[in-house]
Structure 1
Amino acid sequence: MRNLPDRHPLKVTGNSQKIGLGVEIVLEVEDVNDVYNKVVAKGYPIHTELTKRPWGMNDFRIMDPDGYYLRITSSN
């Protein structure tokens, strides 16, 4: 992971203090649009906006306070 660009969310540096830094967790949900709207309504910061990926999945990404990178996704 050290070869990742410095701004990449999974980039681990020598002084990283967050326990989850460098870990990506993927959560597959039935309705990613609904989950996205609920996350936005709660005011949680979105790292990557809701996007349709070239491989057919829709997802968005957030970073939790401990540094875990969460990808919330669904196929619809």
Structure 2
Amino acid sequence: MAVKRIKPNIRSEDFDGSRRFYTDLIGLDGGDGLDWILFFGGETREVQLSVMKRDIRAGVHPDVSIEVDDIDDVHARCVAFGAEIVYPLTNEPWGLRRFFVRDPNGAVINVTQHTE
């Protein structure tokens, strides 16, 4: 199992302000997305930041997204450990298989794997 990237998820209700801040002030590209999430990045896929309202499917805000290459293995280890699964392992219609797990500090981690 390998981690492919780690991406912070900032909660926001001010998408216009977020676009201005992250593109004009910080210098990230992007600011496009859906009505509940915006994506900002750099020259490589590994440099990405998400700004989102409450997650549209899970109904809870994930603090961090971690993309892995074997989500079933990570999910099984989390369950065996007794970690709190906040959102079940789900195949999402936008090409992700994911689940949310709470870390020992209370942070919600969105563990993902691309299916497309």
In structure 2, list runs of 5 or more residues that go unmatched. Answer: 1-10, 14-52
The reply on whether 1:25 has 2:76 as its aligned counterpart is: no
- Using CA pairs below 8 Å that are at least 6 residues apart, which structure has the higher relative contact order? 1
Identity of aligned residues (%): 31
TM (normalized to structure 2)?
0.46
Q: Pairwise CA RMSD of aligned residues?
A: 2.3
List, as ranges, runs of 4+ consecutive aligned residues in structure 1 with deviation greater than 3 Å: 1-5
In terms of fraction of residues, the more strand-rich structure is: 2
Query: Looking at CA atoms only, which structure, 1 or 2, has the larger radius of gyration?
Result: 2
The reply on whether 1:49 has 2:83 as its aligned counterpart is: no
Separation of aligned partners in 1, 2:110 and 2:12: 21
TM (normalized to structure 1)?
0.67
The reply on whether 1:40 has 2:79 as its aligned counterpart is: yes
